Amino acid sequence: MRYAKCIVIPDDEGLHPVDQQIADHPDIARELLHNVNLLADDTIVTLYQLSGDAAALESILTDSKMVRMYHLSKADDAIHAYIHVGAHDRLVGLLSMFREFEFIFDTPLEYTRRGGLRVTMIGDVGSFQQAIPDVPDGIRIKLLKTGTYEPNTDRLFSQLTDRQQEILETAVDMGYYNVPREVTHADIGDELGCTGGTVGGHLRKIEAKLLSQIVP
C-alpha cells in the first residue's frame, strides 16, 4: 500500500468560510482535523481538535449562517468540535477531487503553523499527478514525499503538534531516551531555545498522548 504526504495550502480566503473564521480568531488554535466528509448534498461534516477559548468558538459557530449543526466537548486543554457546514465551492471541489481519484485520508490531518493542512493520502500514488489540474483555484498542493504506508508510526506521530514533534525528535536525537539517559531537560531546552521546565512539560504531554493509545 502506498501513500503521498502533502500540504494543502489555501490562499487568504481559506478552505471554507467557517474554518477561516476559526483560524482568524486570536484565542483559538486549530490542532487536528480528525475527520472531514463530503455528503451527498455537498454539505460537509468535520471533527476538529482545537485549543483555546471554547466560548469564543461557540460564538463563531452560533453566529455563522453556514453552520447547520455543531456539538462541542472539552477535556483538559483540548476542544473537540463536530461541525456540519453548508456547501462551499472551494472545499467541495477539493474533496470531490480526492473522491474522484479514490484517495483515502489517513487521519488525523494536522494544521501547520502557517495555516496549511498536512495530509497523508493513501491509494494509487500515480494518480496524484493526474489530480493536480483539478485542484480548485486558490489552493496549492505541495508534495512532500511518497512511500510505503506504515499506519501506526505515521498515525501516532501526526497527532502531535509541530512543536511537540520538534521537541520529541530533538529529545530522541540527543539521547534522552537512551539507557542510560544522555541528556537532561535543560540540555534539550538549550538546543531549542526554551527552558528545561518547558521541555519537561511537553514531553509529559507527549508521553501521555502516545502511551494512552499503546496500552490496552
Cell 485549543 appears where? Answer: 51
pLDDT at 189 over 90: yes
Q: What is the pLDDT of residues 1-23, one digit of tens each?
A: 778 888 899 998 899 999 999 99
Q: What is the mean pLDDT of residues 210-216?
A: 71
> What is 36-47 written as a DSSP string?
EEE-TTS-EEEE
Main-chain phi, psi angles of 61, to 5 degrees? -70, -35
pLDDT at position 153: 59
| C-alpha span between 44 and 161 (Å, rounded) | 25
Q: What is the pLDDT of residue 143?
A: 83
pTM above 0.85, yes or no: no
CA distance 26 to 21: 10
CB under 8 A, 24+ apart: contacts of 53-62: 53/25, 53/27, 53/28, 54/79, 56/25, 56/27, 56/28, 57/22, 57/25, 57/28, 57/81, 60/18, 60/21, 60/22, 60/25, 60/28, 61/18
For the chain, the domains span 2-154, 160-214
pLDDT computed for residue 16 by the predictor:
95
SS3 86: coil
CATH among 1.10.3470, 1.10.10, 3.40.50, 3.40.190 for 160-214: 1.10.10
Taking a C-beta distance cutoff of 8 angstroms, is the pair 70, 83 a contact?
yes
State how far the Cα of 15 lies from the Cα of 17, in Å rounded to an integer. Answer: 7
pLDDT digits (tens, 9 = 90+) for 83-115: 999 999 999 999 998 888 888 888 888 898 888
pLDDT tens digits for range 119-153? 888 887 677 777 777 788 899 888 888 877 766 65
Query: Residue 115: helix, strand or coil by DSSP?
Result: coil
Question: 503553523: which residue's cell?
Answer: 113
pLDDT given for residue 110 in this prediction: 87
Q: For 32-64, how does the pLDDT look when each residue is reduced to its tens digit (9 = 90+)?
A: 999 999 999 999 999 999 999 999 999 999 999
